[in-house]
Amino acid sequence: MNDQTTTQDAPVGPVKIMPTLASDLVKAIALDHGVCIRPVPMRRTDLVTGESDVQYIPCSHTLASVCPPCAERNRKLRATQCREGWHLGVEPVIERADPDDEPRMWMGLRAQAQAMRDQAEKAGDPTTDLDDAIKEIDAEIEGCGVKGVLKTGEQPDRRTRSTKRRPDAVDLPRRPVDKRTIGKTYLGRDGQTFRPSLFLTLTLDTYGAVHGRRNGGACRCRVYHGKEDPILGTPLNPAAYDYTRAARDALHFSKLVDRFIQNLRRFVGYDVQYFAAIEPQRRYAPHIHMAIRGTISRTELRQVVAATYAQVWWPSTGTVKYAGEGLPVWDAGIDTDDDTVPGAYLDPDTDAPLPTWDEALDAIGDDDDPLHVVRFGPQVDAQGVLGDSADSRRCIGYLTKYLTKQVAECHQIDTDEQAAHADRLAEALRYEPCSPTCANWLRYGVQPKDAKPGLTPGYCKGKAHRREHLGYGGRRVLVSRKWSGKTVADHKADRKNWVLARLAEAGVSAIDITDPGRRYAWERPAPDDPDVKPLDHRLLLLLDQRITRRAQLDQAKTDLGLSATHQEAA
């Protein structure tokens, strides 16, 4: 029985209660019914008739702390998406509704979102929501098959120096990569064929011993810790724990994952597909769970893991050049019809401009070491999983378990040891450059890429520095392009809503691409728009819609001779 049946009989219709509690009650009922509790108003204008009204779209937020129904819906859709692609038996056909229109539409939104983002940044407003929306739109554009997504944020370093293999790296045989994306089938003893796939967990290296349960046994501190002991994951000796390396590994974890997939494909010789979730361990280091289609032996996986590393060719951060009072000063430059001198950060004493980002990169010599090399730890945890089994359901549960939470919310901080551990990591992340545009570069005497006024080392607004992200600023779910054929229609609509809602909140007008005729124009209502109902009223409207739709669905099922869900439950 699915859980919808339990909400089916929840009280509906007029409810008599104390008026002071009414809004709480509406919210509670909305939660019961899985209705978004912070719907976003959008004015919709019919371009044919000229009629205009206000519609409420679900906020589609992925965090349960923001909107539990939307977050839960997203989690369930992700679980469905994961299940759909994991054990595919035929090559997926990637379908797109309209090959020309869709990328163009997304690109239009992308431009609007970027303009809003730049404006917000200039005004010193938070840009997080817009940054997330932009990433989401980029993924959509890429999903449309458009290569070379606009890189307005972090750009891959195109310099050629780093192609040399590290002398300390294991060499990996490479094969040409076949187009095939599905795994092999095997013949069982009873003559049945089966198609195992893989559940893989990869973890970063150690930064120093932490309290743990070695094979469920005693810790190095000689205590048997219970499974839920909050001391688990905190360092035995905080002074010896390498927080700098922990911080850098977290910052560059995405690069390592990319490299691993690349190496794996070249090694096994086919286009391996994956659905992955990135989560923190108790020690606050990110790790990755991956559902991989098809099966690869543990020995092979170990080889690929051992040979995988990512190098960060950034300027050195070995010497602090500016700190405290004497920070570099912004000079606005000149911009007239005859003369253009770009703005720059100057040394506060000599007025000499600091090297630009590109100059600093060019100054890295062939014999220099990269700023950082990130690798996985030696632990490779892999298990074969059959489709539609208890194992596969358990693994999908793992993969989607924490998706409704921020990274730092995944493990509650209860004790002083935990808080101190999180603080030390946050401190290590404070002055660590998170990207080429990071304000922290000024501390090390380099102008950040795309330098602009108002940058102060230690106050970079990048996601990775924030305590709730623990150094990992990337996407939490990574799904390869050929995971499943058609994206689950629901799932796609949901992502679309999410982007539209973020943009609407930021004041970007948007069109709905689910409307192929482009009949409607959507825009954010003005603040004093008389048609925009207060929140309680919106929730009532949405509740009413939900209940009506359920009733219609039940009626349709009855008409078709199927029993309605509440009858099944009875």
Residues near Zn ion (CB under 5 A): 36, 58-59, 67, 70, 211, 219, 221, 223, 434, 438, 460, 462
Three-state secondary structure call for residue 383: strand
Of 289, 303, 84, which is closest to residue 200 (Cα–Cα)? 289
Minimum CB–partner distance for residue 12 and Zn ion (Å)? 20
Specify which residues 330 forms β-bridges with.
345
Handedness of CA 422, 247, 150, 444 (dihedral sign): positive
User: Which residues, at least 6 apart from 83, have a Cβ–Cβ distance to it below 8 Å?
Assistant: 388, 392, 396
Nearest distance, CB of residue 348 and Zn ion, angstroms: 21
**CB crowding 5-23: b at 16 or more within 10 Å, else e:** eebbeeebeeeeeeeeeee
Both tokens assigned to 10: 């929840």
Query: Residue type at 334?
Result: I
Of residues 71 and 290, the one with the C-beta less far from Zn ion? 71
For the chain, the straight-line distance linking the first and the last C-alpha, in angstroms and rounded, comes to 11
Q: List Cα–Cα distances, 247 to 156, 208, 242, 251, 361, in angstroms.
A: 20, 13, 9, 6, 22
Min dist CB 400 to Zn ion, Å, is 18
Least distance between Zn ion and beta carbon 86 (Å): 28
Tell me how far, at minimum, the Cβ of 191 lies from Zn ion, in Å: 50
Nearer to Zn ion, 212 or 294 (CB): 212
Q: How far is CA 255 from CA 228, 251, 290, in A?
A: 32, 9, 16
Nearer to Zn ion, 211 or 289 (CB): 211
Kindly tell me which of 244 and 262 has the beta carbon lying closer to Zn ion. Answer: 244
423, containing H or E segment:
helix 416-430
Taking the least distance from each CB to Zn ion, the nearer of 285 and 542 is: 542
Taking the least distance from each CB to Zn ion, the nearer of 306 and 532 is: 532
Q: Please name the residue that has the structure tokens 């490299």.
A: 259
Nearer to Zn ion (CB atom), residue 462 or residue 474: 462
CB of 257 to Zn ion, least distance (A): 20
Distances (CA, A) of 170 to 202, 267, 284: 18, 13, 28
Question: How far is Cα 17 from Cα 21, in angstroms, rounded to an integer?
Answer: 7
Q: Give the three-state DSSP class for 193.
A: strand
Residue 386 CB contacts under 8 Å (≥ 6 apart), including other chains: 87, 194, 195, 196, 197, 392
Smaller CB distance to Zn ion: residue 229 or 347?
A: 229
User: Tokens 């100054």 label which residue?
Assistant: 363
CB of 447 to Zn ion, least distance (A): 14
Residue 211 CB, nearest approach to Zn ion (Å)? 3
The total of other beta-carbon atoms located within 10 Å of residue 73's CB is 20
Minimum separation from the CB atom of position 461 to Zn ion (A)? 7
User: Residue 139 and residue 499: Cα distance in Å, rounded?
Assistant: 11
Report, in Å, the least distance between residue 146 CB and Zn ion.
28
Q: How far is the CB of 412 from Zn ion (least distance, A)?
A: 19
Residue 68: half-sphere exposure toward Cβ, Cα within 13 Å: 8
Nearer of residues 86 and 441 to Zn ion, judged by Cβ: 441
Q: How far is the CB of 61 from Zn ion (least distance, A)?
A: 5
Of the candidates 113, 111, 147, 108, the residue with the CA atom closest to the CA atom of residue 133: 113
Instruction: State which residue, 226 or 507, has the beta carbon closest to Zn ion.
Output: 226
Choice between 186 and 224, CB closer to Zn ion: 224
Q: Which CB sits closer to Zn ion, 70 or 77?
A: 70
The answer to whether residues 396 and 83 touch, using CB atoms and an 8 Å cutoff, is: yes
